[in-house]
Structure 1
């Protein structure tokens, strides 16, 4: 989607100026992974309009392969507006019903492209867009699993897009096919009736996940696997600028660790750091760091000002 970020706080009816950027959980993860030095591909469906061309250009400019993104000549690119009030998370308003992305179908998939990947990352947001989008996610997962591609899944529950009953049914079904899950405490409460990280991790492991990294915000994350469970402390950000995108940064950091063959604690540390740095800058993806920047933030490398 194209994101319009107000340059002032207050109800949108009193806001007149906005900064334009892009938004989207999957594109956020793709961009964050590319900045961390990985080869990444992103596919979706864009409108044959200036907003669609803008999104494609921005993501491609971040070093992400967008060659499999398809174009819809009949539907428009989706939009998102943020509404800001002091010291609280922003409200978001979606304008994506009947958008190009909501009309993505299995015919838009390049199956060989999916087969060639190491990890396929999907989120609950795409599942919520439409029945055809849902079928497309299921098909992508089916192809990936049959070719030993790891499935990474962030529930990313957005109750503005679907109701909890429908969300719970579909998300729990996807969890059964997931290798690496990234639930938040709030999502645990919605899906399982508990926000206790240990219980969330064990429940999803029993459903078939190999790794569950539960996001705990500033407290860090709780990582559960079939061999070990561990709380990994987070990074304190005194004055976060924008928390949207932090969860996507976390997922990207963790997957970067997996791709670099780090142990799970190191994956959690990297994930926490990328997620924390994402909150230092206004915008969904603007704050994602390079590998060198995040190492300096973690104290692994020395920062030289001049």
Structure 2
């Protein structure tokens, strides 16, 4: 089987606020998440063939995540379960505007124990795009496994997609995060980062300047998400800004960037071009489609359950 996108990294539980109990205690809702898994869920909802490579605990949360991925039509043959660590948990606090703050139970988490022996080479060699984030770089052996997987995919001519998802609490210090997050840049073919990650990845705070710097450094196609303002795309031909879509009500921004990137990668996979062949106008069209998907995601709670259908995205575009 040939896949549109295979991703490697973390799948975890986002415990998101869900009101208070009768006695006044805060309630949390168990939501499946993890950026690479969220991206695949967005792709699968848009009709793409996807597979996930990762590790979860042999526990109730790991079982739940496996079931969730399978129900989302994501191939889980590359997902391992371990007795050595518990499935990673993220507790999410939401502000009144829907923005997030995180606390993690990951010392270690099962996702950090992914090793070379766990990698399904057949998946890595039979996909159009291989997608990774940066959380698999925080700890060994997952860091080395990530590089092994990238080398295998690149040897097979697969496009590497990278989304450096910065979570300060998961790194010992900022400089360590910068060093490891930048280590994937020379291998990357298409990249998404948020406006507040620009300085970490390039030492340039301005999104346009940061994107140009990354393209000049050898990444053919770079996208910077700008929150409600939309996104900025950059190729060798220049920079173009794509406005966001108005939302009915912002309920939860968890997974919005992943919905965006899943939708963008769906367009890239569908066009059957390599990133260096994508024109600036084509990249802007991809980003407009992705902005519509992200605007729908934030209108629902959670990440994987909030990913929109192709029909919903097309209606928002109209």
TM-score by length of structure 1 reads 0.92
Distance 1:151 1:18 in 2: 35
Unpaired stretches in structure 1, ≥5 consecutive residues? 300-306
After superposition, residues 38-77 of structure 1 pair within 5 angstroms as 38-77=48-87
**How much is the aligned-residue C-alpha RMSD, in angstroms?**
1.8
| Contact 1:278–1:285 (Cα < 8 Å) also in 2 | no
Determine which of 298, 301, 316 is the counterpart of 1:279: 298
Distance 1:17 1:221 in 2: 34
Unpaired stretches in structure 2, ≥5 consecutive residues? 1-11, 272-277
Once the two structures are TM-superposed, the CA of residue 15 in structure 1 deviates from its matched residue by 3.4
Flag the structure with more relative contact order, 1 or 2, with Cα contacts below 8 A and sequence separation at least 6.
2
For 1:34, the equivalent position in structure 2 comes to 44
Q: Is 1:124 matched with 2:100?
A: no
After superposition, residues 220-299 of structure 1 pair within 5 angstroms as 220-237=230-247, 239-261=249-271, 263-299=282-318
Determine which of 147, 163, 177 is the counterpart of 1:138: 147
After superposition, residues 140-159 of structure 1 pair within 5 angstroms as 140-159=149-168
Once the two structures are TM-superposed, the CA of residue 88 in structure 1 deviates from its matched residue by 5.0
For 2:5, the equivalent position in structure 1 comes to none
1:105-134 CA distances to partner (integer Å, 9 max, x unpaired)?
A: 111101121011110110012212x12111
Distance 1:16 1:222 in 2: 38
For 2:124, the equivalent position in structure 1 comes to 114
For 1:161, the equivalent position in structure 2 comes to 170
Distance 1:70 1:102 in 2: 12
Considering fraction of residues, name the structure with more strand: 2
Distance 2:196 2:56 in 1: 31
For 2:107, the equivalent position in structure 1 comes to 97
1:48-96 CA distances to partner (integer Å, 9 max, x unpaired)?
A: 1121111000110010000110111222111121223423523221101
Distance 1:265 1:285 in 2: 25
Instruction: Give the 3 Å change call, closer, same or farther, for CA 265–88 of structure 1 in structure 2.
Output: closer
After superposition, residues 186-201 of structure 1 pair within 5 angstroms as 186-201=196-211
Q: Is 1:3 matched with 2:14?
A: yes
For 1:302, the equivalent position in structure 2 comes to none
Distance 2:27 2:240 in 1: 45
Distance 1:182 1:193 in 2: 16
1:137-184 CA distances to partner (integer Å, 9 max, x unpaired)?
A: 111111111111000000111111112201111221201110001011
Other structure's SS at 2:52 match: coil
| Contact 1:6–1:15 (Cα < 8 Å) also in 2 | no
Bigger Cα displacement from structure 2, 24-33 vs 76-85: 76-85
Distance 2:179 2:26 in 1: 41
Other structure's SS at 2:233 match: strand
Q: Is 1:207 matched with 2:217?
A: yes
TM-score by length of structure 2 reads 0.88
Distance 2:92 2:294 in 1: 20
Distance 2:46 2:266 in 1: 7
Distance 2:73 2:109 in 1: 25
Distance 1:242 1:66 in 2: 27
